[in-house]
Each structure stands twice: as C-alpha cells, then as structure tokens.
Chain A
Amino acid sequence: MTLVLEQLLNGLQLGVTLFLLAAGLTLIFGIMGIINLAHGALYMVGAYAGALTAKATGSFLLAVPAGLAAAGLTGIIIEYIVIRRLYDRDHLDQVLATYGLILFLNELVTILFGRQPLFVGVPPALSGAVEIIPGVPYSVYRLTIIAVGLMLALGLFLLITRTRLGMLIRAGATHREMVRALGVDIRLLYTLVFGLGALLAGFAGVMAGPLLSVQVGMGEQILIMTFVVVVVGGVGSIRGAFFGALIVGIVDTLLRAFMPMLMRGLVTNTSEADALSAGLSSMGVYVLMALVLLVRPQGLFAARG
C-alpha cells in the first residue's frame, strides 16, 4: 500500500514537470498555430543555464532566474528570427524549421559545453527525505517540485481566467481572426505567449537538473511525452494540459511500477513476463492517447470553439 502511495507521488512529480512543458506547447499551438518541435530545446537551454550558474556560484537560488532568463531570451530570439516567418506557412514548413532548430541548438550546446553531461547537486536545503507517512521516506526535492509546479499551475489558471492578458489569450485560442479585427496587437501577443512558454520550459529544465543528467538531447526525450499530453488534454487548453499531464505522468509511472507484477501473475516464464511488461508499459501512454483520439478526438478538455 505504501508502495502505491510512493509511486503515485512519483507519477504526480512527472506529471507536474510534463505540465510545465505542455502548457507552453499547447498555448503556442492553440494561439499561434505553430507546431514548435524546438520546445524541448528550450527546456535544455534552461537546464544548461541553471546547471552552469549553480556550478559557478554554488547557489541554486541564482540558478532559477538564470535558467528562466536564458530560456526566455532564447525563446524570444527564436520567435523573432524564425517563428515569425512561419505564421502563414503550413505545418510541414513549421515542423521542418523547428526540427532544424533542434539540430542547431543541440550542436551549439555540444560545441560550447561538450558532450559530457553536467552535474548539479540538489540544493542542500532541499536534500534528504521526509517521511510522508511513517515508513515511507520521500525526497524533499521531489516534493518541492510538486508543490512549486502546482502553485505555477494555479498562477497560470488565475492569469488566464482573471486578467486582461488571459482574456486575450483565451480569445486568441478560439477566435484568432476576431481578436485581430478588434485591433489587438496580435504580434505582441504572440511574442508574449511564446516567451511565456519558453519561461515555463526553462523552469522545468532548471528543476529537472538535479534529478536527471543535464546533457545534449535531454529535450527530445521528454518532448514526445509532452506531445502525448497535449493530444490527450486537448490542443490550446491550459486546463487540458494540466489534467492531461497528471494523467499521463501517473499512468506511465504506475504501469512501469506495477506491470511486471501483473504480468508475472499471468505469464509463468519470468523473463518473458519482464520483457512483455517492459514493452506494454512503454506503450501504455500511447495506447491511452489512441483511446482518447478514438473517443474524444478533440482531447479530453478541449478549448471551446
């Protein structure tokens, strides 16, 4: 029972990280109509800037703004130089251009910092584990990620439902032409949305630094899952990104954790059971995505319109 609780927390933590990425991706696609494959590269930029700052200054508190600034700045530069030329082009052109950006950014990072992965320690104040219920120690840092992620989700929710900027974003997601016709500076709105998405991706990168290894190509590993989240949750919807991320995070973690036990009950040969469960659990989220596409092709929480 305690194992289930621990795995649920692990799933929640993965979900929260996915949400930070998916929120940006879904907004950029929903509002700007851009498929941004380079979103994972922004996550990598955030992680590298965070890791290098933490290494140079020894302070994780400085790493957070550094990562945010680097990812945000990279995002705005990319928007200004590349994405702006793609608004009126079809999706294939966008995919090609942003795929090119992935190659470019990965190579650039390799040239600047080499292929050796970087190391960031968990900040001392957050290292160690607490017993959430007696007998189940859980990493304080992972709990912090969950808490901060949930707070950010709440903040985004308030931003989108309660502010004028949020109103424009919602309007842009559903009635883009009308917003433009009413005289809103849609270019500025696009840059803001892209920058916001980049900031969230960068933040996810900084937070992931101490858990994972900071390395070239780390963005692409998580990007595919992020696309699954966006499809499951519904394109253009922050609420969809939130619940989609939690569902995908928890389903993926629980399948990985409990599939082997389940399969060993069904298949007698243990090594066959293991191979089978490894295959099935990595398919799990994609099966989920296929089911969602069958039942509700617009996603579970699609933006209205």
Chain B
Amino acid sequence: MKRRDFLLASAAGAATMAAPSILRAQGAGAPVRIGFITTLSGPAGYLGQDIRDAFQLAIDSEGGKLGGVAVQAIVEDDGLRPGQGKSIAERMLRNDGIRLFSGIVFSNVLGATAPDILDGGGIYVSPNAGPSNFAGRECHKNYYVISWQNDSLHESAGRSASELGYQNAFILSPNYQAGQDALAGFKRMFRGKIAGEQFTRLDQTDFAAEMAAIRAANPDVVFQFHPGGLGIAFLRQYQQAGLLGRIPMVVAAPSLDHTTLAAVGDAAVGVNVTSHWNVDFDNPQNQAFVAAFRAKYNRTPTYYASQGYDTALAIGAALRQTNGNIANQDAFRTAMLKADFKSLRGGFKFGPNQHPIQDWYALKVERNAAGQLELKTGKKVLENHGDSYAASCKL
C-alpha cells in the first residue's frame, strides 16, 4: 500500500470512529449546544477571545451548566470574514442541528450570519455587535442583544463631548455598518459643529493621512471609533503626530479597552471614554467576576469579556425557567425578556426591540497610586438609555 492510500484509509477510519460520538451527543439528556461563532484570528482576535473566555468562565463556574442546565459551547472562528461566519452558521444549523447561537463580534459578520440563523429557526443572542439595521424595522423575535445597539455606544460619547464643553468635533470611523452607526450615533447627541468627518478602512494600519487632516482642520475635540488593533495604531500615531497634548479625544468603549490601554501606554493618558461597564464597578457580582477572570486567565477583562459573561448569564436565566427546552421559542422568549440575572453592569433590562436599556458612564484614563494606567469611572452621562430605532420595531 502506498503512503497516500494509507493516509486516506486512516482518515476514513478516524471519520467513522468520530461519527458515533456525534450521534450520542444528540441523544436524551445531552447538553444544550450553543453555536459560538466569533472572531479569534487576526488583529481583532483578542476581542473574540475575551468574549469566549468569559462565556466559558460562566459555564465552568456552574460546573458545565448555565441556569442548572448542562450546556456545551461549540466555538468556531469566523476570521472577521462575513462569508465564513455565514457558512459556519449554515453547517451548524443543518448538519449539527444547533438552534442556539452567540459570539459574533463584528457587525459585518453578524449582518451576513444572523439572517440565516433566524430564518433557519435558530435563536441568536448577541454578546457584542448591535447594528442599526436589525434594531429597527427588521428586528426579530428570536434576536436578542445583550451588549448595546451600536449607535447608543457613540451617543454616549457625543453627549459626553457636549457636557465637556466641546464645540467643534472631527470624527472618524471605518467604513462598515458599525462605523456608519458610530458616526450617526455621535452626531445624534453631540450639540456642537462637525469640523470634519472621515471614513477609514477596516484593514487600515497607517493613519498618517488622517492625522494630517485632523491637524489641518484644527478641531477642539476628536471622536474616533476604531475597535481592537485599529485603535491601538490610531492612538499611538495620534501621539506620534504630536496631537495628543493639543487636541483632546472623546471615544466610546471599543476604541479604548483594557488591552488597548496596556498596549498604547502613555498615548492614552487623558483620553475621555464612555462605557456601560468598567473593571472598577463595585457591585459584588462584578468584583467576583473580575477576580475570577484574572485568576483563571491572568489578564484584566475587557468590556468584551463582561458582555460575554452577561450573555452567558442571560442565556442561563432563560434556560433555568424553561428547563433547558429551547424548542418552544415563545416560552424561551418570555423567559429571556425577563432578564432575570445579575448583570455585571448593575442594572439591565430589555427594550421593546430586545436591545438593552442601560446606564452609560464617563471614564477617564488616569495613573493610579501605583503608577499604573487605569480607566477610572466618573459620572453617569445617560440614564436608562435605549436606542433610537426601538420605536420602528414592531414585535
């Protein structure tokens, strides 16, 4: 037998050996399987990693269960490619019979993937992306968002910039769904003038041209939305261009999380951030979560992690009330919408379009007593804030 034939034979053998275990998993008493499609590779890989790790932390701390029901998260990497997310979802729906999904980080991946999941009779619970097109007229009864509606993140930044007294803002974001939502959200709540507006690319690494444009426009505040690695490059080049001390910056949580902060160091000092969660929130469930996350993964959780954990808790609350039966989607929905869990943010409830209603806080990057940089929570900028699309959602 030639070597190639041998390899073929052993691969076929392995495949047949694997098949019975899949069948067994579908039998009675099997755990509820959750299709967890997220971004784990590339520059934005740490976002998905944090969401996945926190989600798993919630499952592990209950001994493999959520809400007393055994669950199993089946994690797949979408590589920030919408097409890949879509084909993973199709495979999970059709071949594996999975009906409960979560994990997607980016709005463009969600835009391609969620319709297939929902049309295929699945339930989707978003731990991050909340694009505007699914929040309004196209809202869906099996689509829940635990994080925020995209615009509301940046509405809080717009409000914060106005409250800080800025009149003239230069705004930038990558040209994709969440980026367009970001600029729309900021402009909705910012009362001053827009000095300039520029779209960047989701794969851009060098922002020298944008820095020159900012300098030429000479605004009194810069707002930018650049999640993950993009934000790191943007902030450091902002500092290198000599703009950091001269033009203050107001951003929402995705442009400056704890990982960004560790990577950019001094380039972040003095930046104004708005967020719905921070490490220093002093409710007991958050303190316990931060300690457990640090102990298990040896790093500080980002707000992505907090959302992953909250998503697990929300799913757990619904599973507890339905005894793990996700086939009856109306019962699952009634249970889910009660939001009967202790959110790390303190308060959490669902709005009419099944997106959160929550408080938003102003954060600032400061040096603590030990000389380390940290995000410090300041005052509340928006209270019980939903989103502007809820009104056009008819459920």
Contacts and interface: CB of A to CB of B under 8 A. Distances in A.
Interface in B259-281: 259, 262-265
B213 A218 contact: no
B198 A260 contact: yes
B232 A257 contact: no
Interface centre among A117, A141, A274 (most CB of B within 10 A): A117
Interface string B359-389: 0000000000000000000000000000000
Please classify the interface of chain B as helix (H, G, I), strand (E, B), loop, or mixed, using the class held by over half of its residues: helix
A222 B349 CA distance: 43
B224 interface: no
Contacts of A267: none
Nearest to B40: A115
Contacts of A211: 206, 233, 236-237, 240
A274 B203 contact: no
Nearest to B266: A121
Contacts of A282: 175, 201
A97 to B, nearest CB: 17
Interface residues of A, number: 48
Interface of A is mostly: helix
A222 B205 contact: yes
Interface string B287-324: 00000000000010000000000000000000000000
Contacts of B265: 119, 121
A221 B209 contact: no
B212 A257 contact: yes
A66 to B, nearest CB: 20
A217 interface: yes
A226 interface: no
Contacts of A275: 175, 180, 199
A274 B199 contact: yes
Interface string A122-143: 1000011100000001010110
A114 B242 CA distance: 31
Contacts of B200: 278
A207 to B, nearest CB: 12
B79 to A, nearest CB: 9
A272 to B, nearest CB: 11
Given A117-B232, A211-B237, A278-B175, A7 B212 contact: yes
A297 interface: no
A141 B205 contact: no
Interface in B240-259: 240-242, 259
B256 to A, nearest CB: 13
B165 interface: no
B34 to A, nearest CB: 22
Given A115-B46, A122-B240, A10 B263 contact: no
A121 B263 CA distance: 10
Contacts of B201: 278, 282
A253 B40 CA distance: 30
Interface in B182-214: 183, 197-201, 203, 205-206, 208-210, 212-213
A213 B232 contact: yes
A274 B299 CA distance: 39
Given A10-B208, A119-B264, A278-B199, A216 B216 contact: no
A142 B200 CA distance: 20
B243 to A, nearest CB: 10
Contact of A13 (B208, B213, B216, B232): B208
B263 A213 contact: yes
A251 B316 CA distance: 53
B45 A115 contact: yes
A268 interface: no
A57 interface: no
A182 B263 CA distance: 54
Contacts of A144: none
A110 B44 CA distance: 12
Nearest to A252: B209
B245 to A, nearest CB: 12
A301 B181 CA distance: 44
Interface string B210-230: 101101100000000000010
Nearest to A141: B240
B27 interface: no
Contacts of A115: 40, 45-46, 49
Given A3-B216, A215-B229, 7 more contacts: A116-B46, A117-B232, A127-B240, A141-B240, A216-B45, A220-B42, A260-B197
Sorted nearest first, the 8 A-B pairs with minimum C-beta distance are A278-B199, A217-B42, A10-B208, A115-B45, A213-B232, A278-B175, A115-B46, A257-B209
20 contacts: A6-B212, A7-B212, A10-B212, A106-B41, A115-B40, A115-B46, A116-B46, A116-B259, A116-B263, A117-B259, A128-B242, A139-B241, A212-B206, A212-B233, A213-B263, A215-B43, A274-B198, A274-B199, A278-B175, A278-B201
